[in-house]
Amino acid sequence: MATPSSQPVFRATTTAPVNIAVIKYWGKRDTTLNLPTNSSLSVTLSQKSLRTLTTASCSPSYPTEDTLNLNGRPQEIQSSKRTLACISSLRTLRKSLEDADSSLPKLSSYPLRIVSENNFPTAAGLASSAAGFAALVRAVADLYQLPQSPRELSRIARQGSGSACRSLMGGYVAWRTGELADGTDSLAEEVAPASHWPEMRAIVLVVSAEKKDVSSTEGMQTTVATSELFAQRVSSVVPERMTAIEEAIRDKDFPKFAEITMRDSNTFHATCLDSWPPIFYMNDVSRAAVRLVHDINNAVGRTVAAYTYDAGPNSVIYYEEKDTELVAGTIKSILGATAGGWDGPFYEPLANVTSSVSLEKTDPRVLDVLKNGISRVILTGVGEGPISVEDHLVTETGEMVNQ
Ligand SMILES: Nc1ncnc2c1ncn2[C@@H]1O[C@H](COP(=O)(O)OP(=O)(O)OP(=O)(O)O)[C@@H](O)[C@H]1O
Ligand SMILES: C[C@@](O)(CCOP(=O)(O)OP(=O)(O)O)CC(=O)O
């Protein structure tokens, strides 16, 4: 795939983070535009542990079709309406810049070569689509030197995967459902930067890195069509929780943040169970982690930990740095220091942690299920949005860098 050196190759590379919602997006009111039935709110996680790296490049010398290579494998993007929708919106914005300034190179007319890698399992409930589409949109927008803000770009990333619109920003991010039929007001916005509440930590208990049975897209449509609980979630439960959790974030009120987070995860999974046929994302290991978190909070006498589950069995447990020993230390005492492959940017401080909460009231079977069921533990925390880097996955002459 060598490119003649006389032809220029334009490149831009970015990293993008995953985000884990504390008020869940579940349900679409428009499947083509990918518009949600309710607002949602997430915490962007540090890219020191989980991140997508994407290079967008274009050249007049590339073969005619746009291409995307993910983790070393060519993807069928011509049949991926979502990827095509993102690329087409970005190209239209570039074209209008070129129409207004004839001195600009005609990048919008060149084929794109996009190369991406996720440093964690794809399609396994670790929000790869969120980081992946956010990185794709940010990288192409940078390549095209678009002036649009992350908020404006979130409208485009949303078409790739709803949750991706929240990964264009760091910290605490809301995706407002919007009211307009064309979706122009359905955008993500930063509620607070990571620096407002940098003490927020997250421990990810990887229960399964397998591809899940029911995709989020399919699962949420079944829920919208069949769950009787769902209407109430959308009309009153989520709007009240959005207001309350934004107050909790503003006041850095962890117990309030934690209760809303756990309740919203539970309500979301209740609507899955109430779907017809029912959808199960949590399993015995997930439920054991729920029990553990409640036991830790009871033993400590205040709420120090909050679980949440996406469309899969993996637990994400939020806590504040000051409670690292009580939360991460206790989990380490159950799983062992090395069992489960602990890693992440916040692991080092845990190396010497010995104290933990007494779990004498916890059913020993819960501890066994956790010990046997968790394959990996990632210690991370709130982090920044996409970062522009020079670590290109496409060479100056347009070839893919060997990964
Ligand atoms: N780096 C990437 N670049 C472009 N697209 C990606 C990238 N990573 C993932 N995707 C897209 O996202 C899809 C996976 O999304 P899916 O929602 O099934 O899983 P997930 O996001 O890992 O899990 P969940 O949404 O439940 O947390 C992939 O099949 C691919 O189409
Ligand atoms: C449970 C969730 O993680 C669902 C995420 O759904 P997706 O964003 O993956 O769905 P699509 O828009 O169909 O791609 C909750 C959340 O992240 O808010």
Which residues face 388 on adjacent strands?
14
Instruction: With beta carbons less than 8 A apart as the criterion, state whether 142 and 56 touch.
Output: yes
Atom of ligand 2 nearest to the CA of 217: 13
pLDDT at 250: 98
Whether the bond into 147 is cis, omega within 30 of 0: no
Give the model confidence (pLDDT) of 142-200 as tens digits: 999 999 999 999 999 999 999 999 999 999 999 999 999 999 999 999 999 999 999 99
CA 324 to ligand 1 centroid distance, Å: 30
If phi > 0 it is left, if psi is from -120 to 50 it is alpha, else beta; for residue 358 that is beta
Ligand 1 atom 2: residue of nearest CA: 132
pLDDT at 341: 66
Of 35, 17, 27, 43, the closest CA to residue 261 belongs to: 43
Is ligand 2 within 6 A of the CB of residue 254? no
Alpha-carbon gap, residue 115 to 62, rounded angstroms: 14
Give the model confidence (pLDDT) of 123-145 as tens digits: 767 889 999 999 999 999 999 99
- Residue 313: both structure tokens together: 């069995």
Atom of ligand 1 nearest to the CA of 54: 1
Burial of 195 (0-12, 13-18, 19+ CB in 10 A): exposed
Alpha-carbon gap, residue 366 to 153, rounded angstroms: 44
CA distances from 132 to 18, 120, 160, 239, 386 (A): 8, 11, 9, 28, 11
Alpha-carbon gap, residue 33 to 192, rounded angstroms: 27
Residue 346, pLDDT above cutoff 80: no
Give the model confidence (pLDDT) of 12-44 as tens digits: 999 999 999 999 999 999 999 999 999 999 999
302: Cα within 13 Å, side-chain hemisphere: 10
How many helices (H) and strands (E) the chain has is answered by 11, 17
- Residue 356: both structure tokens together: 């933990």
Mutate to test the pocket of ligand 2, among 19, 22, 24, 25 (most ligand atoms within 8 A of CB): 25
List the alpha helices (DSSP H) in 187-274. Answer: 216-226, 230-232, 238-251, 254-273
Residue 219, pLDDT above cutoff 50: yes
Instruction: With beta carbons less than 8 A apart as the criterion, state whether 245 and 260 touch.
Output: yes
Is ligand 1 within 6 A of the CB of residue 89? no
Alpha-carbon gap, residue 51 to 135, rounded angstroms: 9
Of all helices (H) and strands (E), which one includes residue 339? none
Handedness of CA 31, 37, 41, 43 (dihedral sign): negative
**φ, ψ dihedrals at 384, nearest 5°:** -90, 170
- Residue 298: both structure tokens together: 């009871």
Residue 1, pLDDT above cutoff 50: no
Atom of ligand 1 nearest to the CA of 71: 1
Whether 10-193 shares its CATH topology with 200-381 is answered no
How many angstroms separate the first and last alpha carbons of the chain? Answer: 16
Range 10-193 classified under CATH 3.40.50.150: no
Is ligand 1 within 6 A of the CB of residue 34? no
Is ligand 2 within 6 A of the CB of residue 163? yes
For residues 215, 221, 224, 230, the Cα torsion angle rounded to the nearest 10 degrees is 10
Residue 338, pLDDT above cutoff 70: no
Give the model confidence (pLDDT) of 296-329 as tens digits: 999 999 999 999 999 999 999 999 999 999 999 9
Within 10 A of 305 (CB to CB), how many other CB atoms are there?
A: 28
Give the model confidence (pLDDT) of 261-298 as tens digits: 999 999 999 999 999 999 999 999 999 999 999 999 99
Of 3.30.1370.60, 3.30.70.890, 3.40.190.10, 3.40.50.11030, the CATH number of 200-381 is 3.30.70.890
Alpha-carbon gap, residue 109 to 62, rounded angstroms: 11
pLDDT at 343: 73
Domain positions in the chain: 10-193, 200-381
Give the model confidence (pLDDT) of 65-110 as tens digits: 999 999 999 999 999 999 999 999 999 999 999 999 999 999 999 9
- Residue 115: both structure tokens together: 């190369």
